[in-house]
C-alpha cells in the first residue's frame, strides 16, 4: 500500500480563505498581537508567517518584539497592557521563551478570553470537561486535517504519541470528544511500537526525529505527524520515518507541508472566534 498524502498547505489555504471571507463581513478587523522575546531563528520564521497570514486574511495584526534580556516582570507588564487594550482580541506569546522567564507564569497571565493559543488553565480545563473553549492551534489543526482526509473517528482506536500540554493532552481531549477510543503513549511507555500498531489513527507529537518506523503502523492507518525536527544537515523531518510509513499507512501528513501550516490557520480561526465572543459580533 502507498498512502494518500494529506496536503496541509492546501487544507490551510482553504481554511484561511474562508476566514478572510468571514472577516470581510464582520465590519471590523479582529486584533491579534504576537509577542516574541529574543532571537530564536525558528520562532522568527513562525512569527513572521503568522503576521503575514493574519494580515492577508484582513486581521489587524502586529508583532511585539522584545529583547532576549527582557525580564519576566517586563513581559508580564506587556501582557497586562494587551489584556486591557479593547482593540486586541487575541494575544499569543511565542514559545520557547528565554530560560530566565517562567513560561507558565506568562501563559496564565493572558486573559483567557484573548488566549488564542488555548494554553491558559481555564481554556485547558474547559476543553478537558467538554465545554466550549479556545483550543490549542496544533491539535485543532489536526482535527481539521482528519476531517479533510475523511477519517472516521467514532469508535476508532486513536493513539497519541506525546503528552505535552500544547499538543498531546489537548489532542487526546479533542479525539475523545469526537468519540474515538484514545490511548496516550509517551517516552516512558513500554513497547511503544506495539501500542502504536494498535492505532487506526496515530498522532505523533513527541519531538524525536523519525522515531516512528514503518512497522509501527497498522496497514491502512491514518498517520498525522506533528513533529518538526531540523537535522544537523539542515533537513526538516517529522517524528515519523515518512518513506517507511508511506508504505503502510492509508493516509499520512508530510513534514513540511502537513500540520505546520494548519497551526497558523487555526490561530486565525481562534482569533476570529475570540473577537466574535468578546465583541458579541
Ligand X SMILES: Nc1nc2c(c(=O)[nH]1)N[C@@H](CN(C=O)c1ccc(C(=O)N[C@@H](CCC(=O)O)C(=O)O)cc1)CN2
50 a catalytic residue: yes
Minimum distance from residue 158 beta carbon to ligand X (Å): 21
Residue with Cβ nearer ligand X (10 or 193): 10
The reply to whether 44 sits in an annotated binding site is no
The reply to whether 107 sits in an annotated binding site is no
Minimum distance from residue 208 beta carbon to ligand X (Å): 16
Minimum distance from residue 151 beta carbon to ligand X (Å): 20
Residue with Cβ nearer ligand X (119 or 216): 119
| Catalytic residue (one of 94, 115, 126, 140) | 94
Residue with Cβ nearer ligand X (60 or 225): 225
The contact set with ligand X (CB under 6 A) reads 45-46, 92-95, 117, 137-138, 228, 236, 255-257, 260-261, 263-264
Give the CB-nearest residue to ligand X: 260
Q: Alpha-carbon distance 182 to 168, whole Å?
A: 11
Dihedral pair phi/psi, residue 15, rounded to 5°: -65, -45
126 a catalytic residue: no
Considering only CA atoms, which of 17, 83, 11, 1 is closest in space to residue 268? 17
Minimum distance from residue 70 beta carbon to ligand X (Å): 16
Q: Helix 259-279 to helix 8-24 angle, to the nearest 10 degrees?
A: 20
Residue with Cβ nearer ligand X (30 or 200): 30
3-state class (DSSP) for residue 132: coil
In terms of Cβ atoms closer than 10 Å to its own Cβ (0-12, 13-18, 19+), residue 232 is exposed
104 a catalytic residue: no
The reply to whether 122 sits in an annotated binding site is no
The reply to whether 164 sits in an annotated binding site is yes
Q: Where are the beta strands (DSSP E) in 26-156?
A: 31-37, 60-66, 90-93
Handedness of CA 184, 166, 250, 179 (dihedral sign): positive
* ∠ Cα 201 205 206 (to 5°): 125
| Catalytic residue (one of 60, 89, 117, 225) | 117
Provide the annotated binding site for NADP(+).
162-164, 228
Active-site residues: which are they?
A: 50, 94, 117
Amino acid at each position: 500500500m502507498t498512502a494518500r498524502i494529506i496536503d496541509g498547505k492546501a487544507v490551510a489555504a482553504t481554511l484561511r480563505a474562508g476566514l478572510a471571507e468571514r472577516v470581510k463581513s464582520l465590519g471590523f478587523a479582529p486584533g491579534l498581537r504576537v509577542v516574541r522575546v529574543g532571537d530564536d531563528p525558528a520562532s522568527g520564521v513562525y512569527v513572521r508567517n503568522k503576521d503575514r497570514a493574519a494580515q492577508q486574511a484582513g486581521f489587524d495584526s502586529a508583532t511585539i518584539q522584545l529583547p532576549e534580556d527582557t525580564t519576566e516582570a517586563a513581559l508580564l507588564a506587556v501582557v497586562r497592557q494587551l489584556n486591557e487594550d479593547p482593540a486586541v482580541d487575541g494575544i499569543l506569546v511565542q514559545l520557547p521563551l528565554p530560560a530566565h522567564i517562567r513560561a507558565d507564569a506568562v501563559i496564565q497571565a493572558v486573559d483567557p478570553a484573548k488566549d488564542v493559543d488555548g494554553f491558559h488553565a481555564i481554556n485547558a480545563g474547559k476543553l478537558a470537561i467538554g465545554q466550549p473553549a479556545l483550543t490549542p492551534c496544533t491539535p485543532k489543526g489536526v482535527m481539521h486535517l482528519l476531517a479533510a482526509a475523511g477519517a472516521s473517528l467514532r469508535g476508532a482506536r486513536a493513539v497519541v504519541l506525546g503528552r505535552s500540554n500544547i499538543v498531546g493532552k489537548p489532542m487526546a481531549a479533542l479525539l475523545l470528544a469526537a468519540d474515538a477510543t484514545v490511548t496516550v503513549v509517551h517516552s516512558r511507555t513500554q513497547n511503544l511500537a506495539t501500542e502504536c500498531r494498535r492505532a487506526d489513527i496515530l498522532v505523533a507529537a513527541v519531538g524525536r526525529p523519525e522515531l516512528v518506523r514503518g512497522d509501527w503502523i497498522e496497514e491502512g492507518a491514518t498517520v498525522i505527524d506533528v513533529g518538526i525536527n531540523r537535522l544537523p544537515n539542515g533537513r526538516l523531518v517529522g517524528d515519523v520515518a515518512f518513506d517507511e510509513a508511506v508504505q503502510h499507512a492509508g493516509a499520512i501528513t508530510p513534514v513540511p507541508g502537513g500540520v505546520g501550516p494548519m497551526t497558523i490557520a487555526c490561530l486565525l480561526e481562534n482569533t476570529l472566534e475570540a473577537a466574535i465572543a468578546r465583541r458579541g459580533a
